[in-house]
Chains A and B, each alone.
Chain A
Amino acid sequence: MKRIFGVALGILTAIGGFVDIGDLVTNAVVGSRFGLSLAWVVVVGVIGISLFAHMSGKVTALSGRATFDIIRERLGPRAALANLTGSLAMTLLTLMAEIGGVALALQLLTGIVPVVYILPVAVLLWLILWRVKFSILENVAGLMGLLLIAFVIALFQLGPDWGELGRQVAQDLPSTGENGLTYAFYAVALFGAAMTPYEVFFFSSGAAEDHWTSRDLWLSRVNVSVGFPLGGLLSIAIAGCAAVVMLPAGIGVSSLSQVVAPVGVALGIAGLIVVVVGVLAATSGAAIETALSCGYAIAQFAGWPWGKRLRPSQAPQFHAVLLGVIVISCLVMLSGIDPVVVTEFSVVFSAVALPLTYFPILVVANDPQYVGEHTNGPILNFLAMIYLVIVMVAALAAVPLMVLTKMGA
């Protein structure tokens, strides 16, 4: 039974991590402007995150320590600080976006402006992180997030021209007045959204919270091979719904209300409510993950006691960081900044931070001191090296593309 529940960790990171506010918005924007012509980026992202999350889970299961903990020891304080700075900045930005996403989802349910919800959401988030057990967090958020499957059902219910969708997948640039620069910008943004750095750190630290051992290596494989592809499937369905409803209507998605509208068109009010609750669960789950990831990263870097299993009196610095990042995020979002804009910045800058996250993981996963005889094989290392080249290109291209296209305008 415990092992079955263990799979929920992968589901949680797939739904709450892979499909978070960044994926919801970016996939719908891309679908409404480029159809499914960027679906290949999601596939590339799913394979990449699966490879590196597996390595990260393996390191934790075999060493009994979270990846970031080891990175500091293995690469030294300077490299670890670069890793911490890049990942933490992106994770904090993502946390802000997720809190905004929760508020936007509540607006869709109630019609009340999102800024009203920011403070209550932040307080509730802190109470959940303080009081609720890790196992309950992962199971509830993971299962509720599965409601996003409504996007898949909606896509079938819309009765699209599958041949046309297939042609969109096969083509590069659609003939809708978009240019190569914008296409490249959204390819990088989608890749950044799929390979968000906090996902692997949460996966690794979550595995430590669940006390994984070498006997749980299979769990790591199941989680990444089931959980992440499920997230990728949902991402493509979100883009597909926008491609079928919004693209022909000349509507470029720019808000969360437009992301979920195709589900209402396909399934009516019941479907709409289901998917909005799913969005609420996915963004809440991701807010929990990102807040915890901030705590994990800083505590592991500083060598403080960390973990949800420890009470605030046992890990005061860790719990203080959780409270601190929630307060900062809450204050920023209360300023009235558009959560969708924060989301767009978070996915682009995630792409910039990718090499800082993934290179150290590859180094640690090849060190027998931590993984014994289970160092990466030649095929896994070959694939990982290809991905390092891809993440370097994405990281270098992200900011120039953002400037040249004025955020994909």
Chain B
Amino acid sequence: MRWRRPVSDRRPLAVVAAAVLAVALAGCGIAKDPLGVTLGDASSAASSAALALEQHDDGRLTKAAAATMVDDARTELATAGKQLAELSTSGEQTAVQRDALDVLARSVQHVHEASADLGSSRARDLIDRLRADADDLERLEQAAVDAR
């Protein structure tokens, strides 16, 4: 028997099924807080830059690979900074946002320095600073979730 095209149009059925599935899936969890997500991304980027510097300093990453990783981190931090500045917050989250903007500006500065001084004697110092930035951003991420 040959397969035939269905007589009735089943597109509405597919749309309804997709909607039902989306609602069911929405029950699996709660959408994440945008402030927390942005800070999580920024913390990840700072940690990534620190890892790149450390591995390059240990002779385990080429300069090209480390520079690419630091550059990617710089882009991600810049994006996070832009998103953070545009976020509309209220209550305790506003204080978290303000603190986060300060930490983020510091992190961007450290990543810029890391990019310029890759392989210099300052690497260890910058690694420590970037790790501290990542810790601060992670702490603020938790604060943002608590303040929600």
Assess whether A109 is in contact with B64, with CB atoms less than 8 Å apart. yes
Assuming the contacts A78-B5, A252-B41, A257-B65, asked whether A184 and B25 have C-beta atoms less than 8 A apart, the reply is: yes
- By a CB distance below 8 angstroms, the chain B residues around A251 are 44, 47-48, 51
Q: Which residue of B lies closest to A254 (CB)?
A: B76
Assess whether B22 is in contact with A272, with CB atoms less than 8 Å apart. no
- By a CB distance below 8 angstroms, the chain A residues around B29 are 179-183
Assuming the contacts A250-B47, A251-B47, A255-B69, asked whether A261 and B3 have C-beta atoms less than 8 A apart, the reply is: no
Q: How large is the interface on A (under 10, 10 to 19, 20 to 34, 35 or more residues)?
A: 35 or more
CA distance A314 to B29 in the complex (A): 56
- By a CB distance below 8 angstroms, the chain B residues around A403 are 22
Assess whether B62 is in contact with A250, with CB atoms less than 8 Å apart. no
CA distance A249 to B138 in the complex (A): 12
A89 lies within 8 A of chain B by Cβ: no
Assess whether B3 is in contact with A272, with CB atoms less than 8 Å apart. no
Assess whether B69 is in contact with A261, with CB atoms less than 8 Å apart. yes
What per-residue 1/0 map shows which CB atoms of B68-92 lie under 8 Å from chain A? 1100100010000000000000000
Q: Which residue of A lies closest to B68 (CB)?
A: A257
B119 lies within 8 A of chain A by Cβ: no
CB distance from B113 to the nearest CB of A (A): 18
- By a CB distance below 8 angstroms, the chain A residues around B43 are 250
B109 lies within 8 A of chain A by Cβ: no
**Tally of contact residues, B, Cβ under 8 A:** 40
CA distance A252 to B44 in the complex (A): 6
The interface-forming segment of A133-141, A195-203, A292-300, A392-400 is: A392-400
Assess whether A268 is in contact with B30, with CB atoms less than 8 Å apart. no
The interface-forming segment of B11-19, B93-101, B121-129 is: B11-19
Enumerate B39-63 residues with CB–CB distance to A below 8 Å.
Answer: 40-41, 43-44, 47-48, 51-52, 55, 59-63
Enumerate A235-279 residues with CB–CB distance to B below 8 Å.
Answer: 245, 249-252, 254-255, 257-258, 260-261, 264-265, 268-269, 272-273, 276
B67 lies within 8 A of chain A by Cβ: yes
CB distance from B66 to the nearest CB of A (A): 9
- By a CB distance below 8 angstroms, the chain A residues around B114 are none
B26 lies within 8 A of chain A by Cβ: yes
Assess whether A409 is in contact with B63, with CB atoms less than 8 Å apart. no
Enumerate A110-126 residues with CB–CB distance to B below 8 Å.
Answer: 110-111
CB distance from A181 to the nearest CB of B (A): 4
A76 lies within 8 A of chain B by Cβ: yes
Partner of A264, one of B44, B65, B134: B65
Assess whether A258 is in contact with B55, with CB atoms less than 8 Å apart. no
CB distance from B139 to the nearest CB of A (A): 12
Assess whether B18 is in contact with A254, with CB atoms less than 8 Å apart. no
- By a CB distance below 8 angstroms, the chain B residues around A396 are 14, 17-18, 21
CB distance from A100 to the nearest CB of B (A): 14
Q: Which residue of A lies closest to B14 (CB)?
A: A396
CA distance A65 to B118 in the complex (A): 56
What per-residue 1/0 map shows which CB atoms of B1-37 lie under 8 Å from chain A? 0110100000000100111011001101111100001
Assess whether B61 is in contact with A250, with CB atoms less than 8 Å apart. no
Q: How many A-B residue pairs have CB under 8 A?
A: 126
CA distance A264 to B64 in the complex (A): 12
Assess whether B48 is in contact with A258, with CB atoms less than 8 Å apart. yes
CB distance from B52 to the nearest CB of A (A): 7
A213 lies within 8 A of chain B by Cβ: no
CA distance A182 to B19 in the complex (A): 17
- By a CB distance below 8 angstroms, the chain A residues around B61 are 261, 264, 269, 272
Q: Which residue of A lies closest to B26 (CB)?
A: A404
Q: Which residue of A lies closest to B22 (CB)?
A: A400
- By a CB distance below 8 angstroms, the chain B residues around A269 are 59-62
Assuming the contacts A258-B72, A405-B31, asked whether A108 and B51 have C-beta atoms less than 8 A apart, the reply is: no
- By a CB distance below 8 angstroms, the chain A residues around B2 are 74
CB distance from B140 to the nearest CB of A (A): 13
A328 lies within 8 A of chain B by Cβ: no
Assess whether B44 is in contact with A400, with CB atoms less than 8 Å apart. no
Assess whether B18 is in contact with A75, with CB atoms less than 8 Å apart. no
CB distance from A95 to the nearest CB of B (A): 23
CA distance A273 to B60 in the complex (A): 11
CA distance A109 to B28 in the complex (A): 42
Assess whether A252 is in contact with B40, with CB atoms less than 8 Å apart. yes
Q: Which residue of B lies closest to A184 (CB)?
A: B25
5 interchain pairs, CB-CB under 8 A: A250-B43, A252-B44, A396-B21, A399-B18, A404-B31
Given A111-B64, A184-B28, output 14 extra A-B contacts at Cβ < 8 Å: A181-B31, A182-B32, A254-B44, A254-B76, A257-B68, A257-B69, A257-B72, A258-B48, A261-B61, A264-B61, A268-B59, A269-B60, A272-B62, A405-B31
Tell me the B residues contacting A by CB distance below 8 Å: 2-3, 5, 14, 17-19, 21-22, 25-26, 28-32, 37, 40-41, 43-44, 47-48, 51-52, 55, 59-65, 67-69, 72, 76, 134, 138
